[in-house]
Amino acid sequence: MPTIVVFMINSLAGGGAERIMARLVANSTEWAGRYEIHLVLLDEEKAAYDLPEWVTVHRLDTGFSLTRGVWRAVALMWRLRPAVCLSFLSRSNFINVIAARLLGYKAVISERVNASSHHSKTLSGKLARFLTRFLYPHADRIVCPSAGIAVDLVENFAVADGKNVVIPNPIDTDRIWQLSKEAVTAPTERPYIVAVGRLVENKNFGMLLNAFAMADTYLDLVILGEGPLRQELQTQVGELGLQGRVHFPGFASNPFPIISNAFAYALPSNAEGFPNGLAEAINLGVPAISTNCLSGPSEILDDKGSIAVSSVYKALYGVLVPVDDAFAMAEGIKLMTDETIRRHYAAQALQGATRYRLTPAINAYWQVIENELVI
Whole-angstrom distance, CA of residue 336 vs CA of residue 131: 42
- Given a contact cutoff of 8 angstroms between Cβ atoms, the answer to whether 201 and 178 are in contact is no
* 365 in the same domain as 333: no
Determine the 3-state secondary structure of 212 from DSSP.
helix
Is there a single domain that holds both residue 219 and residue 120? no
Query: Are 98 and 147 part of one and the same domain?
Result: yes
SS3 content of the chain, % helix, strand, coil (to 5): 45, 15, 35
Please count the residues of the chain.
375
Do 349 and 269 reside in the same domain of the chain? yes
Number of other residues whose CB lies within 10 A of the CB of residue 31 = 17
Looking at the fold, whether 266 and 128 belong to one and the same domain comes out as no
pLDDT at 349: 96
Nearest Cα neighbor of 5 from 88, 87, 82, 59 is 82
- pLDDT for the residue numbered 375: 55
Look at the chain and report how many structural domains it folds into: 2
Q: What predicted TM-score, i.e. pTM, was given to this entire model?
A: 0.78
**What is the rounded distance in angstroms from the CA atom of residue 329 to the CA atom of residue 309?**
12
Task: Examine the domain organization and report whether 229 and 335 are in the same domain.
Answer: yes
Residue 247: which of 233, 268, 265, 263 has the closest Cα? 233
**Residues 94, 69 share a domain:** yes
Q: Model confidence over 33-71: pLDDT tens digits?
A: 999 999 999 999 989 888 999 999 999 999 999 999 999
The Cα–Cα gap between 63 and 41 comes to 11
Most distant CA pair in the chain: distance in Å?
65
Residues 25 and 75 in one domain: yes
C-alpha to C-alpha distances, 120 to 11, 47, 114, 167, nearest whole angstrom: 22, 27, 12, 26
Q: Are 261 and 273 in contact (CB under 8 A)?
A: no
Q: Are residues 241 and 367 in the same domain?
A: no
Among 120, 185, 111, residue whose Cα is nearest residue 148: 111
In the DSSP assignment, the letter for residue 271 is B
Question: Which of 313, 305, 312, 293 shows the shortest CA–CA distance to 355?
Answer: 305
Which CATH number covers residue 58? Answer: 3.40.50.2000
Among 277, 276, 225, 221, which residue's Cα sits nearest to residue 249?
Answer: 225
Asked if residue 231 and residue 152 are part of one domain, the reply reads no
Query: Could you tell me which residues come within 8 angstroms of residue 312 by beta carbon, excluding any fewer than 6 positions away?
Result: 319, 320, 321, 328, 331, 332, 335
Mean pLDDT by 10 residues, the chain (375 residues): 95 88 96 97 92 96 96 98 97 98 98 81 87 97 92 95 92 92 93 96 96 97 96 98 97 94 97 88 97 90 85 96 98 97 97 90 97 83
**Would you state the pLDDT for residue 298?**
92
Same domain, 197 and 165: no
Considering the domain architecture, whether residues 88 and 187 belong to the same structural domain is answered as no
- Residue numbers of the domain that contains 66: 4-170+357-374
